[in-house]
Amino acid sequence: MKLDWPEFGLECRDDGRLIFVWRRYSRIESNVRHCSHVRLLPQGPDELSQWVFHLRFPEGPTPGLVVVRVDVPPDRLQEAEEYTDLLRRHYGVPEHAPDAVEDTGLRRVPQEGAEWIATPASDASEELFAAVMARAEGDTG
């Protein structure tokens, strides 16, 4: 299964390799079995939809999560919908993560942790994180 746009390509090969290519910038390669869910979010004010892939790597000594977001222009939305449907039908990739994954909760990586690419976070980032967490903890819905 192959999707080919002017500056972006997505391919899911018969061997299960899932390959994202931004031709001038980057390439991400995984296996479709690591895709815990895929969602196509509705258009925002910029008229772009957003394709969101969660690639989880629970096995091995360094488990991880890679979130791949792809902006989808309006003229490519139908192609993205069809490709999403194919991933769901052929490979069983769900729209939402299984409940067990959702129940792990949001946890913050300590600033001194090896997972940080850059640290420390700015004061504005710290304030935003505190505000978001306070709001999430107070949400009863």
Q: What is the pLDDT of residues 90-140, one digit of tens each?
A: 999 988 765 544 444 545 555 566 555 555 566 777 788 778 777 777 765
40: its two tokens: 């196509």
Name the residue among 126, 103, 109, 43 with its Cα closest to residue 134.
126
Rg of the chain, C-alpha, whole Å: 17
CATH number 2.60.120 is the correct assignment for the domain at 2-105: no
What is the structure's pLDDT at 103?
42
pTM exceeds 0.85: no
Model pLDDT, residue 140? 56
Q: How far apart are CA 60 and CA 94, in angstroms?
A: 23
- With beta carbons less than 8 A apart as the criterion, state whether 27 and 10 touch: no
Alpha-carbon distance 13 to 104, whole Å?
31
Q: Would you list the domain boundaries of the chain?
A: 2-105, 106-136
pLDDT at 107: 52
Q: What confidence tens digit (pLDDT) does each residue in 43-100 have?
A: 888 888 999 999 998 777 888 899 999 999 999 999 999 999 999 999 999 887 655 4
